[in-house]
Structure 1
């Protein structure tokens, strides 16, 4: 069994087929994942198919491929590029299902970050885009790939209705912490304006800093704090 940030995942054998069971104690996240996976079931996106669901548990098909964050630099960059068009497809072709949560409260994130004493960041309010269906955690840990092709998009428990540039920016900023080339690869593949994407970066930095300050580990917070103190040089 593999434990994630908000749940447990294990492989289950049933009728000669290997399935994935995801258990979550947070009912809201469970319901969101179930709602999101149902909404994308008939869309041309490589997502798991729900086999069975009960309180706190979702049994789904196992999608092929390796986690993108486990691949070497060039393979990972190829996968990120491939994921850009898929993220745009989600944003432009899939209507948000009724009942999907709203986007994170960015004003609250900034206020909490400042109250907690985080390093100074150049916060601004980017122009609002029409809200769309967002995955919520589009990172290389939740993308599976084989040979540069994305074969699986998993972990939909943070799906919400939100700004597409915010979501693209979050993915790009997170990926850039491993390889600065990731931003251009992902943003170009999506077809967005890099400057508009980068306007969101301070929000995502603050959000991650708050996560590390509350959930640890301490060494991650120390490393990120040092990086944010040198923001102008990043």
Structure 2
């Protein structure tokens, strides 16, 4: 089973117990994930239990379920809707101190405008507050069984940031595969769709920059074509 897409992740067995070993080369992101997992103990969110932690290596419990991006559209939509209440619960939780800073949207806009990128209406929406954010609430980091979320993994990007921005990023990513998934997530969270979608150009610019710098080229070409066609 895959858990996470950043760093090196593998399943291991220790004393008959199935665990996940995650290696992160960036010490700051390693420490960030440890802080987030420690803060979420007893929160009610289905997150891995930290078993051991050494420089560069985190050993945690393996959670049941399949990643949402491995599921059919109907099951994925149902699970995304279920995840909305967990996301709201996270945003209401007390964040630990020392988390990494939130995304720098002004810097994203500057970098995007300086690149040979498709035009986008880039304006930072008004803030909706500050909250404990996961940082990458996507269907690749959510596990489920029969529509119930059984795991939220990959906490290395956790931060204190704008909760509506985080919801919007999740909805925008889900909507690129299935527009109904975005609607389901926004509705289940209880947010204003207009305010959520106001963030979409920022997410498009951020992902375009990621593909431009890290690839793969085919993904960059696909996103560029979508943006030039006005499909944000």
Give TM-score scaled by structure 1 length: 0.96
What's the counterpart of residue 60 of structure 2? 60
Q: Distance in 1 between matches of 2:172 and 2:132?
A: 20
Say if 1:6 and 1:26, in contact at 8 Å, map to a contact too: no
Q: Distance in 2 between matches of 1:202 and 1:49?
A: 36
Listed one character per residue, the Cα deviations across residues 26-79 of structure 1 (whole Å, up to 9, x for unaligned) are: 101100000001111110111100011010011001110000000001000001
Q: Please, what is the CA RMSD of the aligned residues?
A: 1.4
Alignment correspondent of 1:25: 25
Give the deviation of 1:16 after TM superposition: 1.1
Equivalent in the alignment of 1:16: 16
Shift of the 5–13 alpha-carbon distance from structure 1 to 2, 3 Å rule, reads closer
| 1:173 aligned residue | 172
Q: Distance in 2 between matches of 1:163 and 1:50?
A: 27
Distance 1:146 1:5, change over 3 A: closer
Flag as ranges the 4+ runs of structure 1 deviating above 2 A.
Answer: 1-6
Kindly indicate whether the alpha-carbon contact (under 8 Å) linking 2:105 and 2:124 is maintained by their aligned counterparts in 1.
no
TM-score by length of 2: 0.97
Matches within 5 A, 1:32-111: 32-92=32-92, 94-111=93-110
**Gaps (5+ residues) in structure 2?**
none
Give how far 1:99 is off.
Answer: 0.3
Residue 6 of structure 1, CA deviation:
3.4
Partner of 1:129: 128
**Deviates further, 31-40 or 4-13:** 4-13
- C-alpha contact 1:36 1:156 (8 A) present in aligned 2: yes
The match for 1:118 is: 117
